[in-house]
Structure 1
Amino acid sequence: MQIVAYASKFKNAAEAFKSEGGRAIIGVFFQITTNRLQSSLSKMGNLLSVIRNLTAYGSSVAVNSLKPDVLLPDNKDEFFRYLGSLTHQPCIENVQWTVMRHALQVTNEDVSSKRHLPVGYVILQLRVYTVTEMMKKMRMLQIL
């Protein structure tokens, strides 16, 4: 899961993405568990059902009482940080990445039921890609 954010000094994400230091992404991995009680997605309450109401580009919905902690693993002290780029076109660089070392737990049922969520700039995307799909999304190596 990628949580994309921008600095509050900017009016909106588009303005922040044009400026160096305006973008940050937190990457969180998912680990499959068979224990439904350990599923991190169950702690998100109605967030996922609210996202289903995002049907058109630019649409928005109100999310009540979301605690951001549920989007991150319990251990937030261990992470990797580097300067990188967006993972999608236009692959804008100068993005501050923070990748959490510990994964969130999800069940196979969670993954299956969330595959039909809207794709694009939404709060949460959950999708399992095939190798072929991943190859289509890759960009060529860039000269440093």
Structure 2
Amino acid sequence: MSQSRMRDNVERWLIHEGLSFEEVKSKENLFQILIKHAGQSGIPIEVFEPSAQPGIIVIGAKVVMKNNQIARYLGFNEDEKEQFEKKVSDYCYSIQAISKIITEDGKQKVGVYVVLDDKENINQQTVFDAMDKVSEMYDKTSRFLMKTF
């Protein structure tokens, strides 16, 4: 599937479902779309195709850490940061999420992602199932951070 066809398909499916979205400019991705309210929780979800992996769609959401959690995280030394990141990564792995701790807009966030890499089976149903799964992983990760951090 060509880059533009993959994006066109995703946009068509979102329009069909009545979801509002906007294109996000990105150097790392062939296309990136931000859906403002998606999944059961109505959270912002990103759908993108990494430039380094054409034909793959990544669907994800970012859990923003609370201010007190950010302050605590920033106070960690390297070992403590690594331990925390491993704990988050292990938890996310247990709920079948790919995770990444990122700094964006001056805030620490935990990104949770689902990768769709079977080109023949990337369709409206698999994309929306993945969005529901990301929404669920977002809620679980948010609760995990509240309980453990």
TM-score by length of 2: 0.22
The structure where strand makes up a greater share of residues is 2
TM-score by length of 1: 0.23
